[in-house]
Structure 1
Amino acid sequence: MAWSWENDPAYQAIVKAFAGREPEEHTGGPLDVRTVIASISRESKNAFAYDDIPWNRFPRGPETRDNVALLRSDGPQVVYGGISGVHGELAHSVWSMAALAVPFLLRAAADPRGHHRAYALELAGGIVHWTPGPGRCTRTELLRITDGAWRYETTGYFGTWGIEAARDAVAADAGLVMALCDDPDPQVRAAAAYAAAIASERVDEIRSGLHTRFRIEANPAVRAGLILAIAQLSHEPRDPACEAWSQALWSDPAMPPAVRVSAAMGWLYLTDTPVPDALHTVLETCATEETARLMEPLPWMRAVDYDGGTALRRCLRGLLHPEDPEPQWDDPWAAPPAAT
């Protein structure tokens, strides 16, 4: 018999459990992906024992398991195929399966011999970052992690739990993620900050670690990313100290342009104060094409880019002139980071 949703036992179980019923009925049960994530032992995660996870309970589970199995291959293209396979589940709004891959994406990134480590980290963070919709460029949405809306997967599963599970998975491995903020590869450092910003717990600890990294970071693009991650972690609850810190950075002419621009973006997100003339001046001076190119590789920038080189310009238009109409947005998942 050819495969179809109708003859898939996992799909049928999800339909029976969730169709026309409140998801809370299954809180803490075998179909609650948050509970499954919490039950994975550190020993299983460190041993890369992906077969300890009950993939078969969930639609698209076996396919995701097969992609996770590729993450530690010696072949760069094989690893890329595994990560992009998980990426594909996320593109189809199967957040639950992408979340179950997070502990292994993080460990693939932590292996200094591994391949596409930054992509693995970016995907772990993207499960949450991309949820409200890519390309959000307003003062209330630019760095927002979640809009609080309920989401269902194409299978009928309660996808909100998958999003929460991804945040929990990063929080459980916050030490591993923060260690990657000191990685020799600047792309990995920036992606680690991007992933750390979605953690559901240990926020003060993570924010303190990002501040520590910022004080010693030499790469201007990574410094810009660290500022965005810190602002993201400082929004709910609102942190007045971060607002003051961001303002001090964008006001400081000794800071590199990318630092001043990202600090201005973070400050605009954290406040609803009218935009001062001094900030307009900073952006007119510092938000140059050179700064846009330097910031372009950051995960936050790629999430709002159309076709290369438009991200910073688009962010600033949305932040400063939200009344301007947005151009048509193409498929945001059509072009993951290129394989090398």
Structure 2
Amino acid sequence: MGEWQTNPTFAMCRALAGGADLSSFAGGPFDVREVVAGMRPEVKDGFLFGEVPWTHFPQGNRVREAVHFLHSGGSPVRTGTGVVHGMCGNDMRAAVVLAVPFLIRIAADTHHPHRGDALAAVSSPARARHFGVASRDELLLHRGDTQDDDLYDDYGVEVTGYPAGWSVAAARAAITADVALLLPLLGDPAPSIRIDAAYALATAIDPDRTVRTALRTRFAAERDPIVRAALVLATAESTRAHPHPPTTAWMREQWRDRTQASEVRLAAAIGWLCLTDEPVPGDLRAAVDELTTDERAHAMDDLPWMATAGGSGETGLQHCARRMLHPEQPDPAWCDDPWAPGH
């Protein structure tokens, strides 16, 4: 943390902790939303890392080195996306946001050996407070608008004191700016790429419904049940940010359709619950209870929404089913000590 205290943004964070008005720093050199918006296309396309002010943000040099190493074909786990995921997991997203445009371009390069790892990391900074979240109110929620300083209240601060809402908003804006690079990945030969492309696109700002339309179009052509489930959840997440009653009605049709794959019906049930505040219908409850087998719950952890929703020894699907259908039930007792009695 000593290194972070010498970072030029530390004075801003210290001032905010002392009660300074966040709006007085908006649009300045340490507002990551402004920095991302000002990144020129030639900088992103040419991987001109030296043109990006990494050092304005905590551990920025570390992120720059990691993404440069990844772009050069280095190990994604040790230094590339491992750094990105690790910093987001440690609630330090500001510098990671600057890597998003470069990660997207690596993912779009069909010849890059680590494109899948890059794509899986793209949306990490675009979501905050979502690990272990499985309730109707929170699972697919995007708080606030990209330039709304109320995000400071919605998301609070990162471990460094940096406004977390600014990082999330900047990441979503960066993804939105490169939607044209991400959309073709919905048709990639690799199912994992199609899933992660849907996961990233779900965070895009989509007032004209371009992304949601693409997700629905791909759903009509997709044959893999897990990928279809991903497209349903991505559609629901996008619709949560940009409400569209016909899409909510479509979700209801999917979980009621017994000809659909079980994974699709479960994803649609979860998506519909997150899009409405209606009481849980009896047929939805029955469908989820019937379809949520242990085997299927583990298989659906291939979906990043479900993987991050897990907790207390439950898979993401099991956690969602319990929190959404039986919110009165407490978290199950869980011990991760393999030497504890009974393990």
Superposition TM-score, scaled by structure 2 size = 0.88
Partner of 1:28, secondary structure, is coil
User: Are positions 1:98 and 2:103 aligned together?
Assistant: no
Q: 1:57 maps to which residue?
A: 56
Distance between the aligned counterparts of 1:177 and 1:329, measured in 2?
Answer: 39
Distance between the aligned counterparts of 2:39 and 2:335, measured in 1?
Answer: 37
Q: 1:29 maps to which residue?
A: 28
Distance between the aligned counterparts of 1:330 and 1:225, measured in 2?
Answer: 30
> Where does 1:240-279 land on structure 2 (aligned, <5 Å)?
240-279=245-284
Contact conserved, 1:105 with 1:124, CA < 8 A, in 2? yes
User: Are positions 1:112 and 2:110 aligned together?
Assistant: yes
Q: 1:338 maps to which residue?
A: none
Q: Which moved more, 1:144-153 or 1:179-188?
A: 144-153
Q: 1:335 maps to which residue?
A: none
Letter in 1 for 2:234: A
Structure 1 residues 329 and 154: CA distance shift in structure 2, 3 A: farther
Distance between the aligned counterparts of 1:63 and 1:290, measured in 2?
Answer: 40
- RMSD of aligned residue pairs (Cα, Å): 2.4
Distance between the aligned counterparts of 2:258 and 2:293, measured in 1?
Answer: 15
Q: Which moved more, 1:25-34 or 1:204-213?
A: 25-34
Please list the CA deviations of residues 87-126 of structure 1 after superposition, one character each: whole Å capped at 9, or x if unmatched.
2221222221111111111112112122443332232222
Residues paired across the two proteins, number: 327
Contact conserved, 2:255 with 2:268, CA < 8 A, in 1? yes
Please list the CA deviations of residues 146-177 of structure 1 after superposition, one character each: whole Å capped at 9, or x if unmatched.
37514222332222211110000000001111
Structure 1 residues 59 and 294: CA distance shift in structure 2, 3 A: closer
Partner of 2:36, secondary structure, is helix
Contact conserved, 1:207 with 1:233, CA < 8 A, in 2? yes
Higher relative contact order (CA 8 A, sep 6+): 1
Contact conserved, 2:16 with 2:22, CA < 8 A, in 1? yes
Distance between the aligned counterparts of 2:43 and 2:333, measured in 1?
Answer: 44
Partner of 1:303, secondary structure, is helix
Q: 2:203 maps to which residue?
A: 198
Partner of 2:70, secondary structure, is coil
Letter in 2 for 1:286: L
Q: Name structure 2 gaps, 5 residues minimum.
A: 145-150, 337-343
Q: Name structure 1 gaps, 5 residues minimum.
A: 332-340
Q: 1:139 maps to which residue?
A: 136
Partner of 2:189, secondary structure, is coil
Q: Which moved more, 1:281-290 or 1:234-243?
A: 281-290
Partner of 2:66, secondary structure, is helix
Distance between the aligned counterparts of 1:122 and 1:6, measured in 2?
Answer: 27
Distance between the aligned counterparts of 1:134 and 1:221, measured in 2?
Answer: 21
Q: Which moved more, 1:131-140 or 1:283-292?
A: 283-292
Q: 2:324 maps to which residue?
A: 319
Contact conserved, 1:203 with 1:233, CA < 8 A, in 2? no
Structure 1 residues 117 and 203: CA distance shift in structure 2, 3 A: farther
Please list the CA deviations of residues 222-244 of structure 1 after superposition, one character each: whole Å capped at 9, or x if unmatched.
10011001011112343211111
1:55 is displaced (CA, Å) by: 1.0
Q: 1:175 maps to which residue?
A: 180
Contact conserved, 2:63 with 2:96, CA < 8 A, in 1? yes
Please list the CA deviations of residues 185-236 of structure 1 after superposition, one character each: whole Å capped at 9, or x if unmatched.
1101101111111113455100001111111011100100110010111123
Q: 1:84 maps to which residue?
A: 82
> Where does 1:202-213 land on structure 2 (aligned, <5 Å)?
204-213=209-218
Please list the CA deviations of residues 29-49 of structure 1 after superposition, one character each: whole Å capped at 9, or x if unmatched.
111111100111111111111
Distance between the aligned counterparts of 2:185 and 2:86, measured in 1?
Answer: 25
Contact conserved, 1:64 with 1:101, CA < 8 A, in 2? yes
Distance between the aligned counterparts of 1:219 and 1:88, measured in 2?
Answer: 30
Please point out which of 297, 307, 310 is paired with 1:305: 310
Superposition TM-score, scaled by structure 1 size = 0.88
Q: 1:121 maps to which residue?
A: 119
Contact conserved, 1:292 with 1:309, CA < 8 A, in 2? no
Distance between the aligned counterparts of 1:330 and 1:227, measured in 2?
Answer: 33
Letter in 2 for 1:270: L
Letter in 2 for 1:159: A
Q: 1:336 maps to which residue?
A: none
Structure 1 residues 139 and 16: CA distance shift in structure 2, 3 A: closer
User: Are positions 1:288 and 2:287 aligned together?
Assistant: no
Structure 1 residues 246 and 110: CA distance shift in structure 2, 3 A: same
Q: Which moved more, 1:270-279 or 1:152-161?
A: 152-161
Contact conserved, 2:248 with 2:272, CA < 8 A, in 1? yes
Please list the CA deviations of residues 230-276 of structure 1 after superposition, one character each: whole Å capped at 9, or x if unmatched.
01111234321111101111111111110111111111111122222
Partner of 1:253, secondary structure, is coil
Q: Which moved more, 1:85-94 or 1:321-330?
A: 321-330
1:308 is displaced (CA, Å) by: 7.8
